[in-house]
Amino acid sequence: MQPTSFTVNGSAVSVTADGDTPLLDILRNHLGLVGTKFGCGQEQCGCCMVLVDGRAEKSCGKALSTVAGREIVTIEGLGTRERPHPLQQAFLDEQAGQCGYCLPGIIISAKALLDRSPAPSRAEIAAALDDNICLCGSHIRILRAVERAARLLREGAGR
């Protein structure tokens, strides 16, 4: 088995595993990055979103072999408890979650959106989060949190 090399949150990694192994499994069980969640395992819920070369993608359906040489960012790569990313701060400020299980995936989808569209409308935010399911029904607070994060980022937060 040949190792597969890629970057995760800015660090080079090399993983020896079957090329068909889902990236989600690699992140959680080989690299200890458990912020990315397992929900359905069938590309239906969005819990497992990560950025792949800047695009939000579901890591449960992405084979290890397809990420060779790519740049992966997980929720751990956004901010820290001490220095949260503006998206993380906005979700805290808006109390945008109940159980919180969906939030890593939602924040990753929102990050991809705000990176390409700094001032999205509410409809654009909703469309960008279309692949993310929140079973707790926190949708309105989640939309508000993304709007708040967009404002914070436009005002220069997180630089």
Nearest distance in Å: CB 137, ligand FES: 8
Closest separation in Å from C-beta 22 to ligand FES: 8
- Residue 6 C-beta: closest distance to ligand FES, Å: 19
Distance between start and end Cα atoms, the chain:
41
**By C-beta, is 30 or 101 nearer to ligand FES?**
101
Output the 3-class SS for 2-16.
Answer: CCEEEEECCEEEEEC
Task: Quote the least distance from Cβ 46 to ligand FES, whole Å.
Answer: 5
Contact positions vs ligand FES (CB under 6 A): 38-41, 43-48, 58, 60, 97-102, 134-136, 138
In sequence order, the β-bridge partners of residue 50 are 57
Residue with smaller CB distance to ligand FES, 61 or 79: 61
Report the residue number, 25 or 150, with the smaller CB distance to ligand FES.
25
Q: Quick one: how many helices (H) and strands (E) in the chain?
A: 5, 5
Backbone angles phi, psi at 4, to 5 degrees: -105, 125
Between residues 136 and 157, which has the closer beta carbon with respect to ligand FES? Answer: 136
55-58 sheet: strands from edge to edge: 11-15, 4-8, 71-73, 49-52, 55-58
Which of helix, strand or coil describes residue 120?
coil
Nearest approach, Cβ of residue 35 and ligand FES (Å): 13
Q: Considering beta carbons, is residue 47 or 153 the nearer one to ligand FES? A: 47
User: Is beta strand 4-8 parallel, antiparallel or unpaired with respect to 71-73?
Assistant: parallel
